[in-house]
Chain A
Amino acid sequence: MIRKTMAVARKEFRQIVRDTRTLTILLVVPVFFLLLYGYALNFDIRHVRLAIDDRDHTVESRSLTAAFVNSGYFDLVASISDAGAARLMDRNDVRAILVIPSGLGRAMRTHRSAAVQVLLNGDNANTATTVMGYALAIIRNESARYATLPTLPTGAPSALSPLLTVEPRIWYNPQLRSTLFLVPGLIAFITMITAVVSTALSIVREKERGTMEQVRMAPIGTASFVVGKTIPYFVVSFASAFGIIVAAMLMFDMPMRGSWIVLLVTMSLFLVGALGLGLLISSAVETQQVGFQLAILISFLPTFILSGFIFPISSMPRVLQIVTYAIPARYFLTALRAIVLKGARIEAFWVELAALTLFAAAVLTLSAVRLRRQWRSA
Chain B
Amino acid sequence: MSGPATGPLRAGDRKTSAITVDNLTKRFGGFVAVDRLTFDVREGEIFGFLGSNGAGKSTTIRMLCGLLAPTSGAATVGGIDVGRDPEGVKRRIGYMSQRFSLYERLTVDQNITFFGGIYGLARDRLAARRRFVIGMAGLNGREHTRAADLAGGWRQRLALGCAILHEPPIVFLDEPTGGVDPVSRREFWNLIDGLSESGVTVLVTTHYLDEAEHCHRVAIIHAGRLAAIGTTAELKRMFADRAIVEVHAASPIDAMRLLDEMPEIEKTSVFGTAVHAVLKHGTGGIAPAIKTRLERAGVPVASIAAVEPSLEDVFLEVAETPDRARVSAAGKP
Contact = CB atoms under 8 A, between A and B. Distances in A.
Contact of B87 (A4, A10, A11, A219): A219
B113 interface: yes
Nearest to B117: A7
B67 A218 contact: no
A210 B116 contact: no
A4 B117 contact: yes
A6 interface: yes
B114 interface: yes
A10 B117 CA distance: 10
Interface in B95-111: 95-97, 99, 101-106, 110
Size bin of chain A's contact surface: 20 to 34
Nearest to A4: B118
B326 interface: no
A378 B68 contact: yes
6 contacts: A10-B114, A15-B106, A211-B101, A217-B65, A220-B119, A376-B86
Nearest to B98: A210
B243 to A, nearest CB: 45
Which 8 pairs, one residue from A and one from B, show the smallest C-beta to C-beta distance? A7-B117, A210-B99, A11-B114, A217-B95, A210-B101, A214-B101, A211-B101, A219-B90
B97 A218 contact: no
Contacts of A11: 103, 106, 110, 113-114, 117
Interface of A: 3-4, 6-8, 10-11, 14-15, 18-19, 209-220, 375-378
A315 to B, nearest CB: 49
Nearest to A19: B105
A215 B118 contact: yes
Contact of A214 (B86, B95, B117, B120): B95
B115 interface: yes
B69 interface: yes
Given A11-B110, A11-B114, A218 B69 contact: no
A210 B174 CA distance: 13
Given A7-B116, A11-B117, A18-B106, A214 B97 contact: yes
Main secondary structure on A side of the interface with B:
helix
B91 interface: yes
A376 B67 contact: yes
B125 to A, nearest CB: 12
Contacts of A209: 101, 104
B118 A218 contact: yes
Given A215-B118, A219-B87, 18 more contacts: A4-B118, A8-B114, A10-B114, A11-B103, A11-B106, A11-B117, A14-B105, A15-B105, A15-B106, A210-B101, A212-B101, A213-B97, A214-B115, A217-B67, A217-B95, A218-B90, A219-B90, A376-B67
B113 A10 contact: yes
Contact of A219 (B91, B101, B103, B162): B91
Interface centre among A212, A214, A375 (most CB of B within 10 A): A214
Contacts of A10: 113-114, 117
Interface string B106-140: 10001001111111100000000000000000000
A211 B162 CA distance: 12
Interface string B127-162: 000000000000000000000000000000001001
Nearest to B119: A218
